[in-house]
């Protein structure tokens, strides 16, 4: 699917020539997200849970949720917190059609990666259901992943991770409801004549992590197919009560 990202970038470049971009946050001309606004996005600081990446106040090795619930995913990291301008930018990318924001936002993910690389071999984006992707026109997580992978030099996973059933929107659901909502929603389809993800370490790319339920469901599908480890990297980390 690399052609999809290339076509998107080429089309976006043409649009930029016809309609010069301006920052969606401060309206400064020259870029869809200016460096000044990007620098103001809040970054995770202090202690975080080594499994899900959520901020923790004490020195416990895991947050309360991860300590109480055994997870398949090996860990999740996020580049920024879903607050202020970061929240606005994610809304514009996800719901308002500003797909060009994937390029500057992926740079934040690459910065996070370079600061603390994860032990992975290949990457894959968390998929949308085909009906939702058709309605939106693109998968924002795939666009983020393509640009991120280009910046850090990470190859794409062979085969395809697919969302095989529609699910309720996660908005307003608690942790257990979110997990039940996406349970069994993903399957891994290996390439013809290849070993697929067997024996590989996979990095999952998504736009936002709230409870990690979606990343966990994807991890289950990949490990059933033989992946030795699965890590998650998201653009933003949301509080569990987030409306994203």
Residue 123 is predicted with a pLDDT of 98
Share of the chain above pLDDT 70, in %: 83
Residue 43 is predicted with a pLDDT of 92
Phi, psi values for residue 53, rounded to 5°: 80, 5
**206: pLDDT strictly greater than 90:** yes
d(C-alpha 13, C-alpha 204), whole Å: 27
Residue 61 is predicted with a pLDDT of 76
The pLDDT confidence band at residue 131, using thresholds 50, 70 and 90, is confident
Which pTM value belongs to this model? 0.87
Which domains does the chain show, CATH number per domain? 43-237 (3.40.50)
Residue where the block lists tokens 């307003």:
172
d(C-alpha 241, C-alpha 157), whole Å: 32
What is the average pLDDT value for the chain, to the nearest integer? 86
What are the pLDDT digits (tens) for 112-128? 999 999 999 999 999 99
What are the pLDDT digits (tens) for 161-201? 998 877 656 666 666 676 766 777 899 999 987 779 999 99
Handedness of CA 227, 176, 136, 81 (dihedral sign): negative
Both structure tokens of 93: 């990318």
The pLDDT confidence band at residue 80, using thresholds 50, 70 and 90, is very high
**40: pLDDT strictly greater than 70:** yes
**153: pLDDT strictly greater than 80:** yes
Residue 1 is predicted with a pLDDT of 47
Residue 226 is predicted with a pLDDT of 96
Residue 2 is predicted with a pLDDT of 52
Both structure tokens of 235: 């653009």
Residue 175 is predicted with a pLDDT of 66
**139: pLDDT strictly greater than 90:** yes
Strand pairing partners for 234? 78, 206
């Amino acid at each position: 699917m690399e052609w999809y990202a290339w076509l998107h970038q080429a089309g976006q470049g043409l649009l930029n020539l016809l309609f010069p971009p301006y920052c969606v946050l401060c309206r400064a001309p020259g870029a869809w997200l200016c460096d000044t606004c990007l620098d103001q996005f809040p970054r995770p600081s202090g202690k975080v849970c080594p499994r899900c990446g959520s901020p923790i106040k004490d020195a416990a090795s895991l947050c309360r949720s991860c300590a109480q619930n055994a997870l398949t995913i090996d860990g999740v990291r996020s580049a920024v917190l879903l607050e202020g301008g970061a929240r606005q930018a994610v809304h514009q990318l996800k719901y308002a059609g500003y797909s060009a924001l994937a390029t500057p936002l992926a740079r934040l993910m690459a910065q996070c990666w370079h600061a603390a690389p994860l032990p992975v071999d290949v990457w894959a984006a968390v998929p949308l259901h085909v009906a939702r992707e058709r309605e939106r026109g693109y998968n924002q997580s795939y666009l983020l992943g393509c640009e991120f992978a280009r910046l850090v030099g990470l190859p794409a996973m062979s085969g395809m991770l697919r969302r095989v059933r529609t699910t309720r929107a996660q908005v307003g659901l608690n942790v257990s409801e979110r997990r039940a909502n996406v349970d069994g929603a993903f399957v891994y389809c290996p390439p013809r004549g290849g070993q697929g993800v067997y024996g590989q370490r996979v990095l999952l790319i998504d736009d936002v992590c709230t409870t990690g339920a979606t990343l966990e469901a994807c991890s289950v599908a990949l490990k059933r197919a033989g992946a030795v480890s699965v890590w998650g990297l998201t653009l933003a980390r949301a509080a569990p009560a987030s409306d994203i």
